[in-house]
């Protein structure tokens, strides 16, 4: 690593470029994955003679690989940043799209969806970009993640409608090929602008600089507390909050992924056309987009635990109205139902990522967040599969939708009973760690002449020891508390205004 003097603070904080990259990365992963699956379900199964359950096994496999790989991907983001992972993921996802267009057997489709699409989504999508955004922002984390996750909303609005026109007009094989081209054109350039964390470039989260003008004492305290109270993976696994959040998101994944995959078939089974069904799912994307503004604003005012429960309430109301609209054949009510569902679903990413970072800090958020992902993704894989089996057995989506509503209620109960883990360092302890002000230097008084006053030895006070800078491998402690370990935490915190080695942001 080459070192250089810290550069002048840029006019635009680089974290906002990361937010833009998050928008595109999330759009690509969700658009090529979840948002397009329901578009392909009926054409592929009808053309190949497969059952709905067989198709869903492939998508469930993609979800499973996506979740299980998170255990490895999260720590890799902590260590290497998102850029190399997104480059690999873009190539894997595009290759899976092209190869899927050539399948002739079910096993080929399952393998490509599970390992190509699943791994590609894990490396390009929300897990990677949101871990990176959590490192670049602390004070503005709510807005940053909310804006970055608008890519999910855009995918929900545009992909189902656009790909329905493509698949119905050209065919499902051509549809997969077009998705492959889009992945390469969008994801590869985006990966090149992604960076690991602001400390690598002589900055602090939110564009702050150590001792910089305009940085309030409250902001500095919030940044330091977030860093010092970050939990490692092993520490997080010993907390009750970790398991309650994991369970809540598992229920969310099982129910939400069911609609993402079965949304268009659900509407068409109610007697509407595929175009009308795609439009209804697109309306959910509009609600999803509006949710980013709503929840981004709300995060600065209420605890994310309460907001997350409100999301579950919207998901329940939307799902109930979908059943009512389908039974009565009311397309307008169906649009209202999908919009409300989209408002709830749209809070899932910003509120979910925010609450994980708020509970466990940002330093090890990749390792902590990723170890909780497999349960959520596996539940997400099982939900659509169970819905398929229920549909094949009964010829109706009623039982599947009732199950979704029950899972939303259980998820709300889990998150409402969770509480933040205890702080390692309180604000009072942090204030006590501040170095004491230097002792005033006594004024020098001209001495009388040597003849008048005999010389006498004057004790010179010992010079105060200079505070040692934190270095990689060193441990920072206070009052017996282990606050920072250079080997364990991997990032050297600036101490007393000293900046850590920096790299040029152009690298």
pLDDT at 291: 79
Residue 64 lies in a domain: yes
Do the Cβ atoms of 346 and 289 come closer than 8 Å? yes
Residue 489 lies in a domain: no
Domain count, the chain: 1
- How far are the Cα atoms of 126, 443, 447, 464 from residue 461, in angstroms, in the given order? 58, 14, 19, 9
Spatial CA neighbour of 140 closest among 16, 294, 224, 292? 16
Q: Which CATH number covers residue 31?
A: 1.20.1250.20
Measured distance CA(20)–CA(148) in Å, rounded: 6
Measured distance CA(380)–CA(251) in Å, rounded: 8
Most confident of 196-210, 351-365, 392-406: 392-406
- At 481, the pLDDT band (50, 70, 90 cuts) reads very low
Top-confidence residue, 7 or 255 = 255
Measured distance CA(173)–CA(170) in Å, rounded: 8
Residue 318 lies in a domain: yes
Global confidence as pTM: 0.61
Residue 445 lies in a domain: no
Measured distance CA(217)–CA(398) in Å, rounded: 55
Residue 41 lies in a domain: yes
Q: Residue 114's domain spans which residues?
A: 14-200+225-416
Measured distance CA(392)–CA(53) in Å, rounded: 7
Q: What is the pLDDT of residues 73-112, one digit of tens each?
A: 878 888 888 899 999 999 999 999 999 999 999 999 999 9
Q: What is the pLDDT of residues 253-282, one digit of tens each?
A: 888 888 877 888 899 988 898 888 888 888
């Amino acid at each position: 690593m080459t070192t250089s003097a810290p550069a002048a603070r840029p006019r635009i904080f680089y974290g906002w470029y990361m937010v833009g990259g998050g928008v595109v990365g999330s759009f690509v992963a969700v658009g090529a994955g979840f948002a397009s699956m329901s578009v392909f379900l009926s054409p592929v199964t009808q053309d190949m003679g497969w059952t709905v359950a067989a198709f869903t096994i492939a998508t469930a496999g993609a979800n499973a690989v996506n979740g299980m790989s998170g255990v490895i991907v999260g720590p890799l983001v902590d260590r290497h940043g998102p850029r190399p992972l997104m480059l690999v993921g873009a190539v894997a996802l595009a290759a899976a799209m092209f190869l899927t267009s050539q399948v002739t057997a079910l096993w080929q489709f399952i393998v490509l969806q599970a390992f190509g699409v699943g791994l590609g989504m894990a490396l390009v999508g929300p897990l990677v970009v949101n871990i990176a955004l959590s490192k670049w922002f602390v004070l503005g984390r709510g807005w940053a993640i909310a804006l970055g996750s608008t890519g999910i909303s855009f995918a929900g609005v545009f992909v189902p409608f656009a790909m329905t026109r493509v698949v119905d007009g050209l065919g499902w094989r051509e549809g997969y090929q077009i998705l492959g081209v889009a992945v390469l054109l969008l994801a590869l350039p985006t990966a090149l602008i992604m960076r690991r964390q602001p400390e690598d470039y002589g900055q602090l989260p939110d564009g702050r600089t150590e001792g910089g003008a305009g940085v309030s004492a409250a902001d500095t305290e919030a940044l330091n507390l977030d860093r010092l109270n970050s939990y490692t993976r092993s520490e997080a696994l010993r907390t009750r909050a970790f398991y309650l959040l994991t369970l809540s998101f598992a229920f969310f994944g099982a129910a939400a992924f069911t609609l993402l995959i079965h949304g268009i078939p659900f509407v068409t089974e109610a007697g509407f056309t595929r175009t009308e069904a795609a439009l209804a799912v697109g309306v959910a994307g509009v609600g999803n987009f509006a949710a980013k503004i709503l929840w981004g604003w709300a995060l600065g005012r209420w605890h994310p635990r309460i907001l997350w429960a409100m999301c579950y309430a919207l998901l329940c109301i939307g799902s109930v109205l979908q059943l009512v609209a389908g039974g009565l054949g009311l397309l307008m009510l169906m649009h209202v139902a999908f919009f409300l569902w989209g408002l709830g679903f749209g809070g899932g990413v910003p509120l979910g990522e925010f609450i994980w970072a708020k509970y466990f800090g940002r330093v090890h958020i990749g390792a902590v967040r990723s170890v909780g992902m497999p349960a959520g993704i596996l539940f997400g894989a099982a939900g659509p599969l169970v819905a398929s089996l229920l549909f094949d057995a009964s010829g109706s989506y009623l039982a599947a939708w009732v199950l979704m509503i029950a899972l939303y209620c259980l998820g709300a109960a889990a998150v409402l009973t969770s509480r933040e883990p205890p702080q390692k360092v309180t604000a009072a302890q942090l204030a006590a760690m501040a170095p004491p002000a230097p002792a005033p230097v006594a004024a020098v008084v001209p001495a009388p002449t040597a003849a008048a006053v005999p010389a006498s030895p004057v004790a010179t006070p010992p010079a105060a020891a200079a505070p040692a800078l934190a270095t990689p491998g060193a441990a920072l402690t206070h009052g017996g508390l282990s606050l920072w370990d250079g080997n364990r935490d991997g990032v050297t915190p600036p101490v007393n205004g000293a900046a850590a080695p920096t790299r040029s942001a152009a690298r």
